[in-house]
């Protein structure tokens, strides 16, 4: 191949498929032949120019699974033909204050897939070795792709939370993030309460592993959680700040709400809610490459999978529109072959 297909954004709001010359990886980089790429709500930062820190044209996509096709100078520990993935965080700098403390997720010079560098809506991706994730044999590319963002985000937030086996953990939202969060929470040994709108979602919540379902239309979720003893952790996955704020009242003493569903709107929380009971609210940003490998290993061990719809690369615009309109059930994944 001397050229490859890519779906790029030339101007905000427009996705177009183009042919590009196959690039050579630079020092510390590898070239990946992409097999699958997930479509994530965060792609709006690129497609709809929700971030000003980018230049067009740009290829979106940060849930990438494929095989190494070529190695750049100085790359060791990785082999041509090896199955790898790349997530949102495409490689830390290694020399900033955060990196020197091992806080790779917080590196301010982070290479961001699909934002600062071209992402995975393409047949070819050049990636930095610091962002590479080794894929296990128990997951094919389509299964692995969404776990490299939605999976590691929810898994990492839960495993680093103060919850312990048997604790009540609530998951707000049963969407792209929430349907994975419920599964991970159940397999970590938590007593799971799923919170969503509408009685029709109760059966799905139970099937995913929730012990309790709270219909926020019929009942105040905070009151319902207190009746269950108060949540040790609430994982807020639906990007609706107004619905997050009242949930703080459902936390038990020293309870924590962890926000993973991004929204630009303030979360309405009163000081009284936090002070009485020592409650707290925090955010969690995905995870490092090794965190992603841990997520994939746990997913294979416990048979956790994302519910996906697959489309070919040429239907990228349709997949993106379906995801943005909340019609996807529950993750859209593009395949290259």
Contact 1, 119 (CB under 8 A): no
Q: Using pLDDT thresholds of 50, 70 and 90, give the confidence band for residue 176.
A: very high
Q: Are 65 and 123 in contact (CB under 8 A)?
A: no
Return all residues near 306 (Cβ < 8 A) that are at least 6 apart. 143, 146, 147, 150, 151, 176, 179, 180, 330, 331
- pLDDT at position 337 is 80
pLDDT recorded at residue 263: 83
For residue 262, the model assigns a pLDDT of 85
Q: What is the pLDDT of residue 268?
A: 94
Computed from CA positions of residues 101, 105, 106, 112, in that sequence, does the dihedral angle turn out positive or negative?
positive
Residue 53: is its pLDDT beyond 80?
Answer: no
Q: Mean pLDDT across the stretch 234-253? A: 96
> What pLDDT digit, counting tens, does each position of 75-116 carry?
999 999 999 999 999 999 999 999 999 999 999 999 999 999
- The runs of H, that is alpha helices, within 214-288 are 221-227, 241-244, 271-275
**Which residue has better confidence, 52 or 307?**
307
User: In this predicted structure, what is the pLDDT of residue 208?
Assistant: 98
Does pLDDT of 1 surpass 80? no
Q: Which positions ≥6 away from 52 have C-beta within 8 Å?
A: none
Phi-psi sector, 309: left (phi>0), alpha (psi -120 to 50), beta: beta
The mean per-residue pLDDT over the stretch 201-220 comes to: 98
Nearest CA to 7 out of 315, 308, 309 is that of 315
Q: Identify the pLDDT of residue 51.
A: 72
pLDDT greater than 90 at residue 177: yes
If one looks up domain 161-283 in CATH, what number appears?
A: 3.40.50.720
Average predicted confidence (pLDDT) for the chain? 97
CATH domain 3-146+288-335 topology: Quinone Oxidoreductase; Chain A, domain 1 (3.90.180)
- Residue spans in the chain of domains classed CATH 3.90.180.10: 3-146+288-335
pLDDT of res. 5:
98
Where along the chain do the CATH 3.40.50.720 domains lie? 161-283
Give me the pLDDT at residue 32, please: 98
The model's confidence at residue 50, banded by pLDDT at 50, 70 and 90, is confident
Work out the average pLDDT over 117-124.
98
What pLDDT shows up at residue 135? 98
Q: Quote the pLDDT of residue 240.
A: 92
Nearest CA to 105 out of 262, 287, 259, 293 is that of 287
Q: Is 49 left (phi over 0), alpha (psi -120 to 50) or beta?
A: left
Residues 6+ apart with CB under 8 A from 16: 7, 8, 9, 10
Instruction: Quote the pTM value.
Output: 0.97
Cis peptide before 57 (omega within 30 of 0): yes
Task: Note the pLDDT tens digit of each residue in 287-317.
Answer: 999 999 999 999 999 999 999 999 999 999 9
Q: Are 125 and 103 in contact (CB under 8 A)?
A: no
pLDDT-based confidence at 284, cuts 50/70/90?
very high
């Amino acid at each position: 191949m001397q050229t490859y297909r890519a779906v790029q954004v030339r101007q905000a709001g427009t996705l177009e498929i183009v042919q590009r010359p196959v690039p050579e990886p630079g020092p510390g980089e590898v070239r990946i032949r992409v097999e699958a790429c997930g479509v994530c709500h965060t792609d709006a930062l690129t497609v709809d120019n929700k971030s000003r820190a980018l230049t067009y044209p740009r290829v979106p996509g940060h849930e990438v699974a494929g095989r190494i096709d070529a190695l750049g100078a100085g790359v060791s520990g990785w082999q041509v033909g090896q199955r790898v993935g790349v997530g949102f965080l495409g490689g830390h700098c290694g020399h900033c204050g955060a990196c020197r403390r091992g806080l790779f997720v917080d590196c301010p010079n982070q290479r961001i897939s699909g934002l600062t560098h071209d992402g995975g809506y393409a047949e070819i991706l050049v990636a930095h070795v610091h962002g590479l994730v080794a894929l296990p044999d128990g997951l094919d590319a389509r299964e692995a792709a969404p776990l490299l963002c939605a999976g590691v985000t929810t898994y990492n937030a839960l495993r680093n939370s103060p919850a312990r086996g048997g604790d009540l953990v609530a998951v707000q939202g049963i969407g792209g993030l929430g349907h994975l969060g419920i599964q991970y929470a159940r397999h970590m040994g938590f007593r799971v309460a799923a919170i969503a709108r509408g009685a029709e979602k109760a059966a799905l919540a139970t099937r995913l592993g929730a012990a309790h379902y709270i219909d926020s239309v019929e009942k105040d979720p905070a009151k319902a959680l207190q009746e269950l003893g108060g949540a040790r952790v609430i994982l807020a996955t639906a990007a609706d700040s107004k619905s997050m704020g009242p949930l703080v009242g459902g936390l038990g003493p020293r309870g924590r709400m962890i926000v993973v569903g991004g929204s630009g709107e303030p979360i309405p929380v009163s000081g009284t809610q936090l002070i009485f009971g020592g409650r707290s609210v925090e955010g969690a940003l995905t995870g490092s490459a090794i965190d992603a490998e841990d997520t994939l290993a746990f997913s294979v061990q416990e048979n956790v999978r994302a519910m996906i719809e697959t489309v070919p690369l040429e239907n990228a615009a349709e997949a993106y529109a379906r995801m943005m309109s909340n019609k996807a059930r529950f993750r859209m994944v593009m395949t290259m072959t």
